[in-house]
Amino acid sequence: MDITRSLIALLFFPGGLFLLLLGLAYEWVHRKLIAQLQNRIGPRWFQPLADMLKLLSKEEIVPEGIHPLLFTSLPVVALAGALTAALYVPLVGLAPAYSFPGDLIVTVYLLSLLTLCLGLAGSNPLSRFSLVGATRTLTQLFSYEAPFLFALLGPAIVARSWQISEIMAYTQAQGQQSLLGWLVFTQPVGFLVALVGLMGKLELPPFDAPEAETEIVAGVLTEYSGRGLALFRLAKNVELVIGLTLIAAFYLGGFNSAPGATGGLQVLLFFAKTLLLLFLLAGLQALFARLRIDQTVGLWWRFGALLMLLQWFILIVWRGMVA
Amino acid sequence: MQSPNGKESQERFVIPIGPQHPALKEPGHFEFTVEGEIVVAASARLGYVHRGIEKATESRTWVQNLYLLERICGICSHIHATAYSLGVEQLAGVEAPPRAQAIRELVAELERIHSHLLWLGVAAHEAGFDTLFMYTWRDRETVMDLLKGLTGNRVNYSANILGGVKCDVDEAQASAIYRGLDFLERRARHYLDVVTSDAAFLERTRGIGVMTREQAETLGAVGPTARASGVPRDIRVEAPYAAYADFPVHLILDRAGDLEARFVVRVKEMFESFRVCRDILDRLPPGEISVRMPRRIKEGETISRVEAPRGELFYFIKSNGGESPERIKVRTPSLCNWASVLNTVVGHKLADVPMILVGIDPCFSCSDRMVVIRTGRGDPEVWTWEKLRRYGIEAHGHHT
């Protein structure tokens, strides 16, 4: 019985197939929002799926002078990492499929796997665009990763647990007391850094220097076509969903804010909160011009990291006073 | 890992941009030598869209050439036809009526608005600011519709004929243009606000690609690129042609010389265009819109200079008294501005390169005058003046 349940959780719901479709759906919402904000019409609802099928049916060209095994396996590893991370987060408002003390750290590292794979994938081919893209991807990783991790550990400190389900239980309890108990109001810096950090992770504008098309074509993905490109894109979609879920669970009072909420309401709250975050994300994305890679690094270390440290300091002092 | 470039990333290597590259709207090849992200050398190679138009004019009649030359540039088509018409009219000793000259200026200024809006969008896209790109191109539709209402075409307007213009402005068209200009002026004011106050955008434009006035003069920059460096150079003001003496424009200058100044100068020029368009419509001279032109043009040679949206456009026209020109030489503004890109780009980050490149509003097919096929991968061939001259004589088959 347990094995069947595990297999279903892994392959169909909430991980696996369902998550892939959810990722495609969120990609569509994201693209449509950006288009509307930019005075365009935007894609039809099945466009992300159509793109994916088209890419999967295309020939995958493996460039000369590279390690072919590395080239084909990196997208798979990236997607696998993202899908594994999904097992530890409260997707669709339901309890995580797996949970153990410290799973927050594991999840954050699994999410970074995509970026590491992109970095390796970019330094593998002989293409200069890929190489510059890889350098920028890894540089960017070092700038947003620490503040992003800090931003997710802020809730962990106040909840006194490094386990996602326990942190969520804490935020939900806070949210049920009053709306002001949402951590977005008590830890606004953490919320902002987490949201903007997610944009950096997904290389969305203004943090799209690693794939700035007007400079380096498509960055690390320049040499990818067909299946590899499709898998990298899927991995990014999955990360988008997971990232939004984590931020909503930690900062927007979880998915069980109303006392006596039922399962249906949880699902509804999940979509309402993650889509609200997606709207914020799209708004930020449409608002800014691309940052140069040195500006990105400067922004994160001069503001993001320092503000996060300041908030940590306040949290720890506050905890010491309360305790 | 098998990555021979891994070591090079610490040293110099060449980033090729083009001939096909998403940053380029037309084919051109640029090689930027970078150390890390810093550009230490730049070279350009043009000629991928050489079409042989100058040579083609010699086997067509004076009237046919009007339509051929209009197609040198897809954006500033009208100004090419105007430069040619004014030159040929001067050779023939004919002068187009004042109403025709005023309509020429009206179309030229609408074209300038269209061109500057297009550039604003492209430049914003290079900076990764796609929202501005989409909005400017939406507004550009307005001015294209106005041009279509006036001339019947959105791109190659064909407003000129030798001896005048082919389209008149009636009441309905005039009121449509007034309305369109009001809308565009509101939008342009907003864009001026955006390019001078959006903090994220200014990070990419302020102090980037600075060209001093001395540099601009030495490198022979023209048009808004030169005016953004404080060089007071505008043919409309210096040597008024068409109706610019009756409906003058003011020179727009900025001394900063950086990318922001190039944005500001172009947007401010749009305000000047809005004003002068209204001025023309307010007091459009009455009368005919064309006069008869002879089929054969008297022997002689002339130059015709006009201010295209990108800068000075220069035509040399030579007639031997026949139905076709003996020689037409076109020097487009983009050609004059290339040197400024290759000089200012050195020392900047790779990320700034596309913006500096686009900062001059380059038009590749305008620039291409000859093609040299590079056979080997050796050093670029150096063409001496003698060799180039001999090559020209052989290629053209005659020598005068």
| B2 interface with A at CB cutoff 8 Å | yes
Nearest residue of A to residue B358, measured between CA atoms: A214
Contacts of B187 in chain A (CB under 8 A): none
Q: Which sequence spans correspond to the domains of chain A?
A: 2-322
Nearest residue of A to residue B13, measured between CA atoms: A128
pLDDT reading at B59 higher than 70: yes
The superfamily CATH assigns to domain B53-329 is Cytochrome-c3 Hydrogenase, chain B (1.10.645.10)
Residues 197-236 in A contacting B (C-alpha not used; CB under 8 Å): 205-206, 208-209, 212-217
Burial class (CB in 10 A: 0-12, 13-18, 19+), A273: buried
pLDDT in tens, B139-173: 999 999 999 999 888 888 889 998 889 988 888 99
The residue that leads in pLDDT, B320 or A1, is B320
- Encoded amino acid at B387, one letter: K
| A123 interface with B at CB cutoff 8 Å | yes
B8, B15, B31, B37: best mutation site toward chain A, by most A Cβ within 10 Å? B37
Write down how long chain B is: 400
- Quick one: DSSP state of residue B290? B
The Cα of B108 is separated from the nearest Cα of chain A by a number of Å equal to 28
pLDDT band at A149 (very low <50, low <70, confident <90, very high): confident
Peptide bond preceding B19: is omega within 30 degrees of 0, i.e. cis?
A: yes
Highest mean pLDDT among A171-180, B80-89, B370-379: B80-89
pLDDT in tens, A84-118: 888 888 887 777 777 888 888 888 888 888 888 88
pLDDT at residue A257 in the model? 55
Cβ within 8 Å, pair A290-B127: yes
State what percent of residues in chain B have pLDDT above 70: 92
| B134 interface with A at CB cutoff 8 Å | yes
The Cα of A71 is separated from the nearest Cα of chain B by a number of Å equal to 11
pLDDT at residue B201 in the model? 84
SS3 (DSSP) at B41: strand
B322-352 burial code (b ≥16 CB/10 A, e <16): eebbbbbebbbbbbbbbbbbbebbeebbbbb
Cβ within 8 Å, pair B129-A289: yes
pLDDT reading at B84 higher than 90: yes
Contacts of residue B177, Cβ cutoff 8 Å, sequence gap at least 6:
B110, B146, B149, B150, B169, B277, B281
- On average, the pLDDT of chain A sits at 84
Nearest residue of B to residue A36, measured between CA atoms: B131
Cβ within 8 Å, pair B15-A212: no
pLDDT in tens, B372-385: 666 555 555 666 77
Of the listed ranges A166-180, B54-68, B198-212, B259-273, the least confidently predicted one is A166-180
pLDDT in tens, B223-263: 899 999 989 989 999 889 888 989 999 998 888 888 899 99
Contacts of A199 in chain B (CB under 8 A): none
pLDDT at residue B220 in the model? 87
Contacts of B5 in chain A (CB under 8 A): 123, 126, 128, 131
pLDDT at residue A250 in the model? 86
State what percent of residues in chain B have pLDDT above 90: 31
Residues 225-284 in A contacting B (C-alpha not used; CB under 8 Å): none
pLDDT in tens, B118-142: 999 988 888 888 889 999 999 999 9
Residues 139-168 in B contacting A (C-alpha not used; CB under 8 Å): none
The Cα of B258 is separated from the nearest Cα of chain A by a number of Å equal to 17
Closest CA to B136 of B75, B187, B200, B195: B187
Closest CA to A285 of A195, A190, A213, A218: A195
Residues 173-202 in B contacting A (C-alpha not used; CB under 8 Å): 198, 200-201
SS3 (DSSP) at A250: helix
Write down how long chain A is: 323
**What's phi and psi for A61, nearest 5 deg?**
-90, 120
The residue that leads in pLDDT, B89 or A314, is B89
Query: B123 with B205: CB under 8 angstroms?
Result: no
pLDDT in tens, A197-233: 888 888 888 888 888 777 777 888 888 888 889 999 9
Contacts of A214 in chain B (CB under 8 A): 22-23, 125-126, 128, 354
Of the listed ranges A237-241, A314-318, B102-106, B313-317, the least confidently predicted one is A314-318
Segment B179-208 shows an average pLDDT of 89
Contacts of B203 in chain A (CB under 8 A): 289, 291-292, 295
Peptide bond preceding A14: is omega within 30 degrees of 0, i.e. cis?
A: yes
The residue that leads in pLDDT, A180 or A47, is A47
pLDDT at residue A32 in the model? 93
Sheet strands (E) in chain A: none
pLDDT at residue B6 in the model? 44
Contacts of B127 in chain A (CB under 8 A): 289-290
Contacts of A291 in chain B (CB under 8 A): 200, 203
| A292 interface with B at CB cutoff 8 Å | yes
CA R_g for chain A: 20
Cβ within 8 Å, pair B353-A215: yes
- C-alpha distances (whole Å) from B168 to each of B102, B103, B110, B184, B398 are 10, 8, 15, 23, 43
